[in-house]
Amino acid sequence: MNEKSLGQIGIIGNGSWGTALAKILTDNGKSIHWWVRNVEAINHLKSRQHNPHYLTSVKFSPDTIMPTNDLGGMLEKCDTVIVAVPSAYAQKVIEQVDKSVWVQKNIISAIKGILPDSNLLLNDYLATNYNYPLERYVALTGPCHAEEVAEERLSYLTFSGLCDNLTNCASLAFNNAYINTTCNHDIWGAQFAAVLKNIYAIGAGIARALGYGDNFLSVYITNCYREMYHFLNDHFEKVHPSNEHPDFHTSAYLGDLLVTCYSLHSRNRTFGTMIGKGYSVKAAVLEMNMVAEGYYAARGMQSISREFSIPIPIATIVYKMLWENLNPAEGFLTLEKMLS
């Protein structure tokens, strides 16, 4: 593999986010190996050149995509693997293949969540269980909805990794006229920010459904940002093995929080809106037919909060609404008194 190249690239996952990433790379002249679990979707991509279920307007040139449901076979051909499945399924997918295969790959994580079976970020799971070298890992974050990528509306991605060469290669592979990319070393901060903002966005959706207006929402998001800042900054050594302090005033932190709480494209906000309207969690999951990362993250972050003695009171209220049957209206009455 050329030191300025990612080599052969594979994508795991064909949801809306995986499809958006495939579009960016193929628009940039890259050919991709694409693991797609559903045989019908594979055949559709081959015959009709678009994903039948997600971002259906995005067309792919047939010579740029190689869809397959053979995960092991795909990995044999790839130097760099982009993991774009929901966090709830990621561990099961990874465990389908021998550990020795993964440690040989560059991994770009497009997961904005923690693995619910272990309550770990993907890099920490790989390092703990696979002895995976973190220099080969890059986290992809930032305010970038798949729907706007499909429309080629200007969006921003942040690539966080410990190896400058790999991180820069990843950034260059995605940069184009409608995708602006930046790099940093902040693997843990960027990913925890992405996890927390999804929880807060569910709360924002609940608030909107309960009749709270823009004035309240602006105060709510301000307090969510403060809570995120305290988690990542005041307790830095507990959750962040690197010595790279986050730059909180960038798009990967504040920007992603804002767009996930406000945008109608946000599945976490949509999920929260349904909860606020009286849907049960199970009914909301079935209705959306998509995974809201913040649902699982709310439970996982409670475990992390207790383990490291880090208070996250807003995220805790959202957790109780989702997992302990706290009435949303009562939960927000409590939040009203907490916010400032």
At 54-76, the pLDDT tens digits run: 899 999 999 999 999 999 999 99
pLDDT number for residue 285: 83
pLDDT band at 243 (very low <50, low <70, confident <90, very high): low
Dump pLDDT digits (tens) for 289-325: 777 899 999 999 999 999 889 999 999 999 999 999 9
Tokens standing for residue 92: 């099961």
Rounded Cα–Cα distance for residues 251 and 179 (Å): 13
The one-letter code for the residue type at 284 is A
Which strand (E) or helix (H) includes residue 214? helix 214-229
Over residues 180-186, the mean pLDDT reads 93
Residue 219 predicted with pLDDT over 80: yes
Q: Which of the four pLDDT bands, split at 50, 70 and 90, describes residue 333?
A: very high
**Domains within the chain, CATH numbers bracketed:** 9-185 (3.40.50.720), 195-338 (1.10.1040.10)
pLDDT digits 0-9 by tens, 30-57: 999 999 988 998 989 998 988 888 899 9
> Smallest Cα–Cα separation from 275: which of 195, 198, 319, 209?
209
Burial (0-12, 13-18, 19+ Cβ within 10 Å), 24: buried
Q: What percent of the chain has pLDDT over 90?
A: 77
Question: Residue 245 pLDDT > 80, yes or no?
Answer: no
The predicted-structure confidence for 89-103, as pLDDT tens digits, reads as follows: 999 999 999 999 999
Residues 151-164 pLDDT 10s:
999 999 999 999 99
The structure's pTM equals 0.93
Average pLDDT of span 328-334:
97
Task: Please say if the pLDDT value at position 181 is more than 50.
Answer: yes
pLDDT value, residue 236:
65
Return the exposure string of 163-190: e unless at least 16 CB atoms fall within 10 Å of the residue's CB, then b.
Answer: beebbbbbbbbbbeeebbbbbbbbbbbb
Q: How many CB atoms are located within 10 Å of the residue 260 CB?
A: 28
pLDDT at 238: 67
